[in-house]
């Protein structure tokens, strides 16, 4: 009796003891992988150690070796920590952090660190190159890039286009609501109509951009065909080919600096409206019918019913629709890249595209200047994101 | 034990084999044109090199031209190949300045073929008094025109600016737009600007402008734009050029709605693909503007370079001097329909555009690379946007030039 008690006692204690073998093995594994990561692979010491020439080094995909050692190292660290008695005693408060660790690490490496990197690049003149010895070739210029930005007409064009995108893209919300209300009825085959309206959202943005730039094309596009019915006639030209002669030329939407941005926004709205529509359709499913009946009894109908009874119940859907539309407007990069590449002469640039154009695109290589544009864009987005997070926080508080 | 011995001896044999192949030499080449003819020509040259040097183990990467412009930065800094394709002139500037290209002046002076037969193109391969690459091809620019339309209207190839303008008047009377162009990707406008500038102010002004020594608001450059304004008014360009690529702009030319095209020789296959026959198209040199101005031409070259990080520089040099030989240069350019930079190489005399091109380029007072190769990329981008804007809004010229001055002051710092 007494002996069995002792056994269970030690058993209970040992649960909280550091398991030496686990910690020992994983510590060794961790050390090896750290050494491999930081020292050996990077400086080519392994190669010298084994007398391999640089030829072999080039054939070995060092990147994958590094990733492999990183994974081994992470696993070793995980087992090391879980073997410690400190961890075993505080499992409940430690465990979430342990599982978050990988995500946090990647978020730091791929989001937080680059933000500060590009902030620091924005104070330099740099063409994106390191020399043969891996030495950075840029120079520190203080606020010069920002001073240049203030004096750059293309920057103001881009900024103004960003505003245009944000404002006009919001049209997707009411139009989406309108279509959702229209489609929210029970007719035979309504599912087919709904899917047809949703269809543009399924198509890739690049394809949407291509379709619209063909439609806009003043030579052979859909728009110029329709225009031709009113203003153009077909004549025979000097070498006997048929050609179109117009009394009023069809608008060259993507070639006109005053129209091009609107043309791209219209193309972007097409899938965005579909997205908002589907959000509202699901929202409408959840509208309480008893409240509608109550509203009817009180004599509400038409606009009054919509404004005072339906819309308040759609508030969550509206919130999400606004958020995704703002995000969509800021993601206008794809559409611009496919439709105009920022042209004609930079008049359809938005900040994101202008940044890409100056830093990476076509080898222009003004990385410092591009980073300054990125920083401005970052702070503009920060305002919106802070507001969004604050709203979320307020809602959470109300919820509890 | 026996097994172990076997394994050890195998490893030894394998490493000895690895060492021996390394001694014989590897050669890794990155080339940047996937279009059928250039790819074929390049592969043929590689095959010939392999045959001549069976001990060199050649491996080849061919990438897309546009993608290459982005990936070359990585390629030069990390896993560099031994030979890489790139452009001479100012486009090689950043890589030369960062020390990422190998100086091959030694090869240029020691190789009798390179030192004797490349005099016309040598300046464009030179930076800081040293040579950095070997050109394998170049091509002429000029005016391609519809000979059948010209004949129908009784026009002849213009030799002077006034003759060109007179031709334009007649073409417009006949309902033909004189020039086609597609400026969506900007660089085509730079071709027109370069020619107007070369003919108005000459080769030195072109070089000084692209080297940042002359401002864009300089009266000489303004004069170039004045001439361009005259050209826009009397020799109008097709409408909607801002939404067209250079390939799209072939359509009105092929249809007979437009009669002339300021272009490079690579466009000829495009005309033929659009259904035009050899006798319907012809070529003339961009006419003289300032009387007596020595005639300089645009003749962009394509070249091969050795990255400073290359592992097999001896083999790479061997390859570069091999592709510089008259035979290889002749074969290569026959396949792609361009001109061999080697003066001793034979050209395809069946191709009238090559014959005219050779005549144009070999008698030129100077060869310009092209605005976007002579000027640094950041300047070229802003400049070409300015040219496009000028073509659409000639009234905004003063703003455009003032803005280009600002960019210039920053870029050439």
Whole-number CA gyration radius for chain B: 24
Give B96's contacts in chain A (Cβ within 8 Å). Answer: none
CB-nearest to A128 from B73, B243, B257 is B73
Q: In this complex, do B257 and A237 lie within 8 Å of one another by their Cβ atoms?
A: yes
Q: Which residue among A58, A249, A344 places its CB closest to the CB of B388?
A: A344
- The confidence score (pLDDT) of residue A91 equals 82
The pLDDT mean for chain B works out to 88
CB contact under 8 A, B185 and A55: no
The burial class, CB within 10 Å (0-12 / 13-18 / 19+), for A324 is middle
Q: Is the ipTM beyond the 0.90 threshold?
A: no
Neighbours of A207 (CB within 10 A): 13
Residue A237 has its nearest CB partner, among B77, B98, B256, at: B256
The C-alpha angle with vertex A348 and arms to A346 and A350, in degrees rounded to 5, equals 95
Strand, coil or helix: B304: strand
Among residues 89-118 of chain B, which lie with CB inside 8 Å of chain A?
91, 94-95, 97-100
* B22 → closest Cβ in A55, A129, A153: A55
Strands B296-298 and B366-368 come out as: parallel
Residues of chain B in contact with residue A53, where contact means CB-CB under 8 angstroms, are 19, 22
Closest-CA residue in chain A for B25? Answer: A55
Q: How far apart are CA A254 and CA B182, in angstroms?
A: 13
Backbone angles phi, psi at A15, to 5 degrees: -60, -30
- Whether residue A344 has a cis bond before it, omega within 30° of 0: yes
CA dihedral A153, A155, A161, A164 (to 10 degrees): -100
- Measured CA to CA, the distance from residue B132 to residue B89 in angstroms comes to 10
Q: How far apart are CA B228 and CA B244, in angstroms?
A: 20
Q: Do A55 and B255 touch (CB under 8 A)?
A: no
In the stretch 218-257 of chain A, residues with CB closer than 8 A to chain B read: 218-219, 237-241, 243, 249, 252, 254-257
Instruction: Decide if A255 and B243 are in contact by the 8 Å CB cutoff.
Output: yes
Q: What is the pLDDT along chain A (400 residues), one digit of tens a residue?
A: 444 444 444 555 667 787 888 888 888 988 888 887 766 555 555 555 554 444 444 445 566 777 788 888 888 888 888 888 888 888 888 888 888 988 998 899 899 999 999 999 999 998 888 877 777 888 899 999 999 999 888 999 999 999 999 999 999 999 999 999 999 888 888 889 889 999 898 999 899 999 999 999 888 889 888 988 888 888 888 888 888 888 888 888 898 889 999 999 999 999 999 999 999 999 998 888 888 888 888 888 888 888 888 888 898 899 889 989 988 888 889 899 999 888 799 899 999 999 998 888 776 788 999 999 999 999 988 888 888 889 888 888 876 5
Burial of A70 (0-12, 13-18, 19+ CB in 10 A): middle
Given CB atoms, is B343 within the 8 Å cutoff of chain A?
A: no
What six digits make up the tokens of A264?
């791209």
What is the structure's pLDDT at A86? Answer: 82
Residue A73: in which H helix or E strand, if any?
Answer: helix A62-83
Contact assignment for B98 to A341 by CB distance below 8 Å: no
**Phi, psi for B233 (deg, rounded to 5):** -75, -50
**CA proximity to A279, closest of A186, A179, A398:** A179
Output the pLDDT for position A400: 56
Q: What's the confidence (pLDDT) of residue B220?
A: 95
In the predicted structure, residue B110 carries a pLDDT above the cut 90: yes
Name the token pair of A120. Answer: 């620091």
Nearest-angstrom CA–CA distance, A328 and A319: 14
**Cβ under 8 Å to B: A residues 334-373:** 340-341, 343-346, 357-358, 360, 362-366
Query: Nearest CA to CA, how far is B66 from chain A (Å)?
Result: 8
A125 in B contact zone (CB under 8 Å): yes
CB contact under 8 A, A241 and B256: yes
């Amino acid at each position: 009796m007494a002996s069995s008690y002792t056994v269970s006692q030690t058993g209970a204690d040992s649960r909280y003891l550091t398991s030496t073998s686990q910690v020992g093995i994983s510590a060794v594994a961790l050390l090896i992988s750290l050494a491999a990561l930081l020292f050996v692979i990077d400086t080519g010491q392994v190669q010298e150690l084994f007398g391999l020439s640089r030829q072999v080094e080039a054939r070995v995909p060092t990147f994958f070796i590094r990733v492999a050692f990183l994974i081994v190292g992470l696993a070793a660290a995980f087992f090391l920590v879980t073997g410690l008695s400190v961890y075993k005693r505080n499992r409940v408060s430690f465990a979430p952090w342990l599982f978050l660790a990988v995500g946090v690490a990647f978020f730091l490496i791929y989001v937080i660190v680059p933000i500060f990197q590009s902030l620091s690049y924005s104070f330099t003149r740099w063409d994106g190159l390191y020399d043969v010895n891996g030495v950075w070739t840029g120079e520190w210029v203080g606020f010069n890039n920002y001073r240049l930005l203030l004096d750059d007409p293309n920057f103001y064009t881009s900024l103004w286009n960003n505003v245009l995108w944000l404002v006009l893209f919001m049209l997707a919300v009411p139009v989406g609501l309108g279509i959702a209300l229209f489609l929210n009825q029970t007719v035979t085959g309504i599912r087919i109509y709904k899917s047809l309206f949703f269809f543009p959202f399924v198509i890739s943005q690049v394809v949407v951009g291509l379709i619209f730039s063909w439609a806009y094309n003043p030579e052979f596009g859909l728009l110029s065909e329709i225009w031709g019915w009113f203003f153009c006639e077909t004549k025979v030209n000097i070498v006997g080919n048929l050609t179109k002669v117009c009394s009023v030329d069809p608008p060259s939407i993507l070639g006109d600096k005053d129209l091009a941005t609107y043309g791209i926004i219209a193309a972007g709205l097409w899938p965005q409206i579909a997205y908002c529509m589907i959000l509202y359709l699901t929202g409408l499913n959840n509208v309480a019918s008893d409240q509608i009946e109550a509203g009817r009894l009180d004599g509400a109908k038409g606009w009054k019913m919509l404004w005072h009874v339906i819309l308040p119940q759609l508030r969550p859907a509206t919130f999400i629709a606004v958020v995704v539309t703002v995000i969509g407007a800021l993601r206008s990069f794809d559409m611009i890249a496919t439709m105009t590449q920022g042209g004609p002469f930079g008049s359809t640039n938005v900040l994101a595209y202008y940044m890409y154009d100056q830093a990476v695109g076509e080898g222009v290589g003004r990385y410092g200047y591009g980073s300054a544009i990125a920083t401005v864009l970052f702070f503009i987005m920060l305002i919106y994101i802070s507001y969004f997070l604050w709203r979320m926080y307020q809602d959470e508080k109300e919820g509890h | 034990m026996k097994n172990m011995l076997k394994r050890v001896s195998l490893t030894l044999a394998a490493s000895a084999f690895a060492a021996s192949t390394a001694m014989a030499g590897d050669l890794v080449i990155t080339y940047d044109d996937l279009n059928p003819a250039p790819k074929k020509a390049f592969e043929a040259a590689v095959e010939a090199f392999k045959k001549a040097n069976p001990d060199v183990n050649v491996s080849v990467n061919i990438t897309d031209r546009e993608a290459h412009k982005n990936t070359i930065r990585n390629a030069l800094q990390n896993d560099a190949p031994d030979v890489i394709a790139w452009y001479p002139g100012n486009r090689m500037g950043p890589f030369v300045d960062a020390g990422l290209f190998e100086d091959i002046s030694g090869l240029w002076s020691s190789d009798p073929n390179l030192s004797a037969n490349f005099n016309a193109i040598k300046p464009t391969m030179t930076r800081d008094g040293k040579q950095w690459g070997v050109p394998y091809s170049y091509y002429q620019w000029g005016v391609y025109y519809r000979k059948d339309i010209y004949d129908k209207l009784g026009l002849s190839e213009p030799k002077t600016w006034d003759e060109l303008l007179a031709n334009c008047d007649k073409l417009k009377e006949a309902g033909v737009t004189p020039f086609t162009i597609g400026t969506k990707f900007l660089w085509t406008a730079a071709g027109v600007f370069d020619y107007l500038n070369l003919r108005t102010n000459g080769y030195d002004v072109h070089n000084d402008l692209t080297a940042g020594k002359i401002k864009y608001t300089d009266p000489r450059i303004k004069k170039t734009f004045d001439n361009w304004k005259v050209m826009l008014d009397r020799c109008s360009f097709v409408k909607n050029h801002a939404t067209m690529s250079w390939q799209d702009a072939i359509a009105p030319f092929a249809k007979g709605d437009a009669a002339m095209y300021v272009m490079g020789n690579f466009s000829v296959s495009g005309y033929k693909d659009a259904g035009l026959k050899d006798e319907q198209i012809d070529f003339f040199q961009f006419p003289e503007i300032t009387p007596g101005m020595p005639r300089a031409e645009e003749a962009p070259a394509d070249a091969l370079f050795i990255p400073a990080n290359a592992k097999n520089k001896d083999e790479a040099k061997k390859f570069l001097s091999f592709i510089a030989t008259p035979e290889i240069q002749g074969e290569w350019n026959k396949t792609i329909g361009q001109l061999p930079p080697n003066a001793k190489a034979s050209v395809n005399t069946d191709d009238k555009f090559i014959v005219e091109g050779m005549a144009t380029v070999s008698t030129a007072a100077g060869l310009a690379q092209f605005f976007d190769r002579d000027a640094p990329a950041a300047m070229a981008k802003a400049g070409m946007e300015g040219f496009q804007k000028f073509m659409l809004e000639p009234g905004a010229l003063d703003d455009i030039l003032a803005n280009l001055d600002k960019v210039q002051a920053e870029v050439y710092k």
